[in-house]
Amino acid sequence: MSARSKARKRALDILYGADLRDLPIEQLLAEESARAAARPERGSSWPYARAIVEGVAEHRDELDRVIVENAHGWALDRMPVLDRAIARIGAWEILYNDEVPDAVAIAESVESATVLSTDDSAGFLNGLLGAIARAKTAETGGPRD
């Protein structure tokens, strides 16, 4: 598993935990930061995990708006908590991280859903994030490779 894939999993754990337990993202981020400092052998995935969580926290309202706009009939609170967290990470990578190609962000999200969530989640997230990527491409004039 690549360092970025591990980072996405760490970020997912934080975002899922915060949403599920109704805790501030910043609190869980601080707790994970302390764990990362105590376990330097896991350090390669921490900087990107932190960037994801901070990015999602900073842009959460916009991410949630875009997710709802492209979810076609699914309210955010009707989505499984895990799918919401995966969707926020994927949408953040598509909209705010130019280092990650859109196709990679979508594929990583679909893989997470396939392994961790319901039978229908991977297809749902593939369609949702694909729509977000297409909308972004229409606005910016081209896909990100």
Q: Is residue 145 part of a domain?
A: no
Q: What is the pTM of this model?
A: 0.92
Cβ proximity of 23 and 32 under 8 Å: no
Q: Is residue 123 part of a domain?
A: yes
What does 20-38 look like in DSSP terms, one character per residue? HHT--HHHHHHHHHHHHHH
Q: Which domain holds residue 46?
A: 3-140
pLDDT by residue, tens only, the chain of 145 residues: 788 999 999 999 999 999 999 999 999 999 988 888 888 777 778 999 999 999 999 999 999 999 999 998 889 999 999 999 999 999 999 999 999 999 999 999 999 999 999 989 999 999 999 999 999 988 876 655 5
Q: Is residue 105 part of a domain?
A: yes
Domain count, the chain: 1
